[in-house]
Amino acid sequence: MEPVKVGLLGLGTVGGGTANVLSRNAEEISRRAGRDIIITHASARDISKPRLCDTSQMKLTENPLDVVSDPDVEIIVELIGGDTLSKELVLKAIANKKHVVTANKALIAKYGNEIFSAAQKNGVMVAFEAAVAGGIPIIKALREGLAGNTIDWLAGIINGTGNFILTEMEQKQRDFADVLAEAQRLGYAEADPTFDVEGIDAAHKLTILASIAFGIPLQFDKVYCEGISKICREDVEYASELGYTIKHLGVSRRTDNGIELRVHPTLISRERLIANVNGVMNAVLVHGDAVGPTLYYGAGAGSDPTASAVVADIIDVVRVLTTDSENRVPHLAFQPSKIQDMPILAIDDIETAYYCRLTVDDRAGVLAEITRIFAEFDISIVSMVQKELHNSQDEKCSIVLITHKTIENKMNSAISQIQSLECVDGEIVKIRLEELDG
């Protein structure tokens, strides 16, 4: 049987890793797929640039449309990133009846509904395991391994840069700006780190996970997104003293009123396994009604880990090249006609617990004023500690408290009233807290 011919768009870190894994594991991959798989065509911005993979058997071009339009290529692997040219190329490949594998989370999160519809009409597959959490097979787990479950909720550390920063802040008592600069030096963060530290990258990935988990359309524009750039070393230290760690989580939960879809810093009890995922590693915790909590952990980025997911998708496509398109695993786990447009909850309507830190006058009666306002909004306090302020000439102190679960708009209203008290100095810090238990 003739080898399956693959066209690679992008020969950077992931593209080179994909070529290397396909070459290094060629025999094993052929045994799994039932056919040999070879990269015959590839595009790059500069084909004269030295590569980390062997390109001697590839037909190279600087125009990716040449690869997409070549009749010999059966599978297009899109690894150029972005969501403009990549969208054009993917839709062109689909129109040319070619299957597509992509690691592009922004493309899928923003345009996946359109792309999957086109793929269904043309009878081709679009595989995207590498778009979320690098080498962790979380999409396959949600779409296939947990197919017998109703998914209750999921929560993930799905951006390695943010996790590295928070880990360093906690373990080495460092400030955000200092650790960010190191992350940039190490290549974990871009020169413009906005996508990572402000949660946009995680929001792309959460959009995809929630769609597969709950059978809803991809809705990136409805994700609540809050970054970690305002997290202070003091809050990391106080959280640790209270038995918690701060992680940048993507959280999606099914409720009676709709689906929660949110990315933000979150306190997690140290007793949870996911709280001990450190450095650049990723992890996703999924709770199904039958299986209970399941945790998926591994490298969320990098050449070989991401290539592992890309090659797995290529193998999946090869396995079903002759399969009737109606009998394939649906792109978003649910049959296209059964996707439900369930409401996405506004952040004001979600229910969770909270960590709060206030700087206040160190005098009698202050705690009474604060607790009175919380009581007016029916917000119960689990624990409260007072911390002395170092290097302060004023008679001020910090009050750190943990609340029971409450509705966000109640919490915001209470904080607004407390903020207006004369005894309160500076902005009140609020960080959401998740128990993530069964």
**For range 60-76, the mean pLDDT:** 97
Select from 436, 95, 98, 36 the least CA-distant residue to 270: 436
Q: Residue 390: which pLDDT band, with cuts at 50, 70 and 90? A: low
328: pLDDT strictly greater than 90: no
Query: What pLDDT score does 393 carry?
Result: 65
The tens digit of pLDDT for each residue in 51-62 reads 989 999 999 999
For residue 155, give the nearest of 174, 134, 138 by alpha carbon.
Answer: 138
Third-level CATH fold of 4-135+303-338: Rossmann fold (3.40.50)
Assign 335 a pLDDT band (cuts: 50, 70, 90): confident
The residues near 136 (Cβ < 8 Å, ≥ 6 apart) are 282, 283, 284, 296, 297, 298, 299, 300, 309
Q: Where are the domains of the chain?
A: 4-135+303-338, 138-298, 347-434
The sign one gets for the Cα dihedral 420, 423, 429, 431 is negative
Query: How far apart, in Å, are the Cα atoms of 368 and each of 165, 365, 385, 418?
Result: 37, 5, 14, 11
The average pLDDT across 344-355 equals: 98
User: To the nearest whole percent, how much of the chain has pLDDT over 90?
Assistant: 92
Calculate what percentage of the chain has a pLDDT beyond 70: 97
**Catalytic entry in 105, 110, 205, 222:** 205
98 is catalytic: no
Q: What is the model's pLDDT at position 392?
A: 60
pLDDT in tens, 269-317: 999 999 999 999 999 999 999 999 999 999 999 999 999 999 999 999 9
User: How does residue 395 score in pLDDT terms, banded at 50, 70 and 90?
Assistant: confident
> pTM, whole model, 2 decimals?
0.95
Distances (CA, A) of 126 to 64, 94, 207: 18, 9, 17
Q: Is the pLDDT at 236 greater than 80, yes or no?
A: yes
- Tokens at 318, concatenated: 């090869």
Fold of 138-298: Dihydrodipicolinate Reductase; domain 2 (3.30.360)
- CATH architecture type of domain 347-434: 2-Layer Sandwich (3.30)
Q: How far apart (Å, rounded) are the C-alpha atoms in residues 312 and 403?
A: 44
Render pLDDT for 78-116 as a digit per residue (tens, 0 to 9): 999 999 999 999 999 999 999 999 999 999 999 999 999
pLDDT grade for 334, boundaries at 50, 70 and 90: confident
How high is the pLDDT of residue 123? 94
Tell me the per-residue pLDDT of 11-53, one tens digit each, with 9 for 90 and over. Answer: 999 999 999 999 999 999 999 999 999 999 999 999 999 998 9
Distances (CA, A) of 381 to 211, 272, 384: 35, 22, 7
Element (H, E) at 197: helix 194-197
pLDDT band at 391 (very low <50, low <70, confident <90, very high): low
Q: What is the DSSP letter of 344?
A: B
